[in-house]
Chains A and B, each alone.
Chain A
Amino acid sequence: MQGMLAFQNAPPFAAPLRFFLTAPLFSLAAGLLVAAGGPELLESRWTPGLLAATHLITVGFMLQVMLGALIQILPVVAGVNLGNPLRVARWLHAGLSAGVLLLAGGLLLGQPAVLSAAALTLGLTIAAFLIVTGRALSSVPSTSPTIRGLKIALVGLAGAVALGALLALALARGWAIPLPVLTDLHVGWALGAWAGILLAAMAFVVVPMFQLTPGYPARPGWWFPRLMLGLMLAWALAVLLDAAVAIRLIQAAVALLGIAFLLLTLRLQMQRRRARADATYRYWQLGLAGAIFALAMLLTATAWPPLADLDGWSPFAGILLLVGGFMSFIIGMLYKIVPFLAWLHLQNQAKPGRPVPNMNKILPEVAMQRQMRAHAAALVLLLAAAIRPDWLARPAGAALALASGWLFYNLLGAALRYRLHLQELDREAPAA
């Protein structure tokens, strides 16, 4: 039977690969920025250097991988295809890359024209992506918590980008708006309503699939995205009404909801049927620990706000959530997705019965494990640098650059080995 027919509709490997290969270069740039900026950069969450480095990680690394992976994974998890995935990937990748460079440059240099250009570039690029993806997703019913989660996450992305563009334009043009309160709201929408819901929607599929755990129970799966979006809308309303106590209560609820999802994932992981702890599993363990601790810090600060004003508190929590949590989850998934896609496309190209190299040949486990140790070391150094920036800011930045460069090297190696095997298959094809 047409065993591999299922994969004929998969987007070409070049569509997501460009995102996966450039993303580590942006986190590498974030590391270099911290190393160059030194202790002053980590003095508070508002320094231009830290704002630029943060967006190199959130937009340059996280958003790149998330959108690239979505183009690839939508047919698999939702049964929808984007019209021309390669073309969508090309302009999306160009817009995102240019936009994040403008944003980091504009924040770092405080240049109004560059910040405005960043808001325009990222705003238009993501609006176009939302239209293309939203149209495709609206054509399918929400038959699984994953599909519902994806639809709601897109609303979260729209909100996060709209708030981000507003903040960038306000900075550029000196609009009198309450920047700290709106920045918190922007962070909430970006990490809770977009990245958090997307992570959950993907986790419902990939955690049981790749780590051989039990499935996520259906009821929390259906409710998590709706509750998170509801809290974000309430947060926005509380900001409009200038209700400080309500904002704190909502932030506490967001932290609790996030912790509940993470603890559920941790419990499922403890029941997994795969004995071997591979790089993906270890990265997810690191991510869960980092994110739970970061959200516990947020929860504590909502109960006792002066904590958030302590030196290093906000950078520490932010590093824990972004480098410890989201980056770990994302790299853990990349280490499954990239070798799997390479294998899948090779399998699809090969004649029936012709063996193709297994996934470990395309990206060896030992290479992933070593890079993961570098990432964990960078995380520890960055956290220590948040407490003692005068000693550790530069080595910590260098460590993040090293771990990101290593990730790039690993992924590039996988892409090159894939290409080599593909050429071998092409050479065999004329004889068929």
Chain B
Amino acid sequence: MAQDIGLSAPVAAAAPHITEAEQARAQYLAAQSRARWQRHLLPLLGAASLLFVWWALVAVFDVKPYVAPSPEVVAMTMMQKSNVLLTNLWPTMIEAISGFALGNLVAIAIAILFVHRKWVEMAFFPIVVLINSIPVVAKAPILVLLLGNGMAPKIAIAAIICFFPTLVNMVRGLEAISPQAMELMHVLSARKWEIFIRLRLPTSIPYLFSALKIAASTSVVGAIVGEWIGSQVGIGALIIQATYNFDSALLYATVITGSAFSVLFFLTIRTLERLCVRWVPHPA
């Protein structure tokens, strides 16, 4: 009898057990999709509510258009003056991307030199830190005097602004190899360039990308700051013009155009990172 009970009890429980498991799974999936919706919907709701506050503040306090525009006026300006905005975005894009490429390439090259020739690092790193501590707005006039009024000084400023974070991160990445990995390479009689290609360079890639993501945004800042000083075209020049003309709607539209490019540039680098670095788990 006792054995009977012992055997039949789990069998009887089995049928409702399965549906329970199914139910739990359905609940889990529902919770997952709810979480997914929340992740996408809540930021939009947040943005919409802030836009509403902006609109309400301008309307309630009757803010004059030369002080601050209301959001719908900015939206209209973006449509009507899209031509002006894009022609001015174009040079800023070229300056930012060229500066990004130049600054990062030089930084990577110098990082490789620093890692392989320690005395060069000891001799020049303090000077690099010193130059980096000068604010961009202070460096910009010097470069304009040196390089004239064309695109060159803007590219130089964007490059300098990218250079430092990449140099520091790249040096750290190239040196982030474990002592055991070095011993392994030694036991395998690997040559210096083999250690560089097979070990140091791949190890540094995640470090490089965290620097590139910073550089993507800051290179745009560099280009815009460069355009503030002696330039007729570009997002920076348009910002100055709009401010002097009290054209607040155009000013806001310009700022939005510039940051849209900045975000797009950042997302491009992040996509590249996810394609290149598959061994480090990324947060969703």
Q: Is chain B found bound to chain A in the same assembly?
A: no
* B binding-site residues for A, Cβ under 8 Å: none
